[in-house]
A and B are shown apart, each in its own frame.
Chain A
Amino acid sequence: MPDNITTENSLPTGDAIIEIIGMHKWYGEFHVLQDINLTVKKKERIVICGPSGSGKSTLIRCINRLEEHQRGQIIVDGIELTNDVKNVEKIRAEVGMVFQHFNLFPHLTIVENLTLGPIWVRKTPKKEAEETAMYYLEKVHIAEQAQKFPGQLSGGQQQRVAIARSLCMKPNVMLFDEPTSALDPEMIKEVLDVMIDLAQEGMTMLVVTHEMGFAKSVAHRVLFMDYGQIVEQNTPSEFFDNPQHDRTKLFLSQIL
């Protein structure tokens, strides 16, 4: 893991961009998220970890309403998430999302994958959208693949394309849902490197991951979730060196 990479680790002091207040979610009878309170400041980078089934993916999927919450409030960029479809679409355009299984559109070329959102949601002219797309493809070191289809790329390349696809929408926040979990070991680094670049540019990021090295070097704050609750949150150094809760200690002892 790139422990030697230093990102600016002082906590941002700006305005809150995401506010979650007393949020609950149920799947039927199952109480998957319980009383979540979380404020994310602009440019803040948060890593969420925890055992599987702890609700960490569900939490970030609530932030762009891929999942609905049933109680409490989620406010993103000053807009509260409700059933108002127009608001939801507006927020989704501002919030980038990267999935575990990439979810590229297999029927479109790489560059078409990247320009789809800008052209149809942002109404960017095609030429301009393509230029932006090429810029971000350069950034994730994959510009030479622009005219290929996703099926012709390796997993690591696909995930970098997925990151670039989100960036083309010029999002204010990026959500990462286990971005490296479906990758072969030798491809994890190329994706993490792209994410570290992004962090250094000051992107607000919420990352669900098991890559603890990444958490240590990049995060401002690490959240530990278990049974649908945020059990503990702290700076990476405190979190890893001096965990407070038994459940956190147990979890860390199992993965480190």
Chain B
Amino acid sequence: MEKADIKQIETEVKPPVASKGVVGWARANLFNTWFNSILTLVTLFVLWKTVPPFFRWAIVDSLWFSTGEACRGTEGACWSVIPANIRFILFGFFPYQLQWRPLLAMVILVVLLFYSRDRRHWNNSLVYAWVAGLFAMGLLMKGGILGLVEVESTQWGGLPLTLMLSVFGLAAAYPLGVVLALGRQSKMPAVKALCVVYIEMIRGVPLITLLFMSSIVFPLFLPEGVTVNVILRAQVAIIMFTAAYIAEVVRGGLQGMSKGQYEAAESLGLNYYQTMRLVILPQALKIVIPPTVSQLISALKDTSLVVIIALYDLLKTTQSVLSDPSWMAFSSEAYIFVALIYFFCCYFMSSYSRRLEKELDTGL
């Protein structure tokens, strides 16, 4: 009887309707105070002044597949600069006939990355898939066996180079950063001192300095005749740099852990590595997902600094295209295109991090 009564009340009393149509919503949110009304009007004015002209430039008056000469006469955007030069922008000096190889390598990488997004796929076969994938990518880029023509790494460039430097840079920097963070918390004075010195030294210099050192100073220490690939050196510099920052982010997470978690793990008889791997790190790393991803995103964008040691990454190949007199005037279009590529990579990371956070949320 009582239950029925409660049900009836539930059906009768509805939550108050928050908005009454568009007008009600606008009044409640856009014009609820005089200050907000002014803000709304100013915003509308700015949008009216900027959006239509941009739309006209980017879409209405734009040219998509023309020569550079044809573009001169138009008021709109000359997107033609991209299709006309797409292969150089994406692949740099990689031999023109062989550019299917870096393309295939990138496809493999992207497929693997997408497949790895789902945590249910994280098992042994995924590890084998990555090993096989890495081998295939290396083979495609370098060649030299299996009837593939060898391509010197000095000819690598464009998007594959950017992706390679970022993906492997981040993949290696993250675990290294975690180890450094643990080292900095270590009770062993030597380990701790080493990690502190490393982290503070790396954080004390700009990435450019490290890249210069890797390309100019480092070879001075090598015995005569020995050379280390310039891409590898840049890769190592990026890893070392990013790891130091990741280490500090992870350390923040470790400090957020309560002493009780360590004690509970230890009182079960777990040793140091088990305690860290099974109890502390899963929680600490989860807490620091947002700052970690910020760090990784900025590392991805920092790979564009390798231009200073004469590597042709995505940004540099684009700039090279713009030094061609027939396309010189259309840098905005080309840069917008490159910006979009960077944006998609970064957005992929940040949306994935949000998804991970949601999946790992256990209500505490």
Contact = CB atoms under 8 A, between A and B. Distances in A.
Interface in B332-347: none
Interface residues of A, number: 29
Among A85, A89, A92, A105, residue most surrounded by chain B Cβ atoms (within 10 Å): A105
Contacts of A116: 268, 270, 278-279
A85 B283 contact: no
Contact of A107 (B268, B269, B362): B362
A92 B360 contact: no
B269 A117 contact: yes
Contact of B364 (A89, A96, A103, A151): A151
Interface stretch (B119-127, B258-266, B303-311): B258-266
A105 B264 contact: yes
A120 B278 contact: yes
A165 B363 CA distance: 20
B263 A169 contact: no
Given A99-B263, A104-B264, A120 B360 contact: no
B264 to A, nearest CB: 4
B274 interface: yes
Interface residues of B, number: 22
Contacts of B192: none
B282 interface: yes
Contacts of A1: none
A87 to B, nearest CB: 11
Contacts of A97: 263-264, 267
Nearest to B279: A105
A103 B362 contact: no
A92 B266 contact: yes
Contacts of A89: 269-271
Interface in B228-266: 258, 260-261, 263-266
Contacts of A105: 261, 264-265, 279, 283
Contacts of B283: 105-107
A66 B260 CA distance: 11
A92 B274 CA distance: 14
A150 B269 contact: no
B360 A107 contact: yes
Given A106-B364, A107-B286, A151-B363, A169 B261 contact: no
Contact of B267 (A66, A106, A149): A66
A93 interface: yes
Contacts of B360: 107
Interface in A79-132: 85, 89-90, 92-93, 95-97, 99, 101, 103-107, 116-117, 120-121
A106 to B, nearest CB: 4
Nearest to B281: A107
A116 B277 CA distance: 12
B363 A152 contact: yes
Contacts of A90: 269
Given A107-B360, A151-B363, A165 B268 contact: yes
Contact of B362 (A95, A99, A121, A149): A149
A149 B364 contact: yes
A64 interface: yes
A103 B263 contact: yes
B266 A117 contact: no
A146 to B, nearest CB: 15
A90 B282 CA distance: 25
A120 B270 contact: yes
A17 B61 CA distance: 89
B264 A169 contact: no
Contacts of A95: 267
A41 B270 CA distance: 26
B261 A103 contact: yes
Contacts of B264: 97, 99, 103-105, 162
Interface in A143-168: 149-152, 162, 165-166
A117 B364 contact: no
Interface of A: 64, 66, 85, 89-90, 92-93, 95-97, 99, 101, 103-107, 116-117, 120-121, 149-152, 162, 165-166, 169
6 nearest A-B pairs in the assembled complex, by CB-CB distance: A93-B269, A151-B364, A103-B264, A151-B363, A117-B268, A106-B364
Given A101-B260, A106-B363, A166-B268, 9 more contacts: A89-B269, A92-B268, A104-B264, A107-B282, A107-B286, A149-B362, A150-B364, A165-B268, A166-B267
Interface of B: 258, 260-261, 263-271, 274, 278-279, 282-283, 286, 360, 362-364
13 contacts: A64-B267, A93-B268, A95-B267, A99-B263, A103-B264, A105-B279, A106-B364, A107-B362, A117-B270, A120-B278, A121-B270, A149-B364, A169-B269
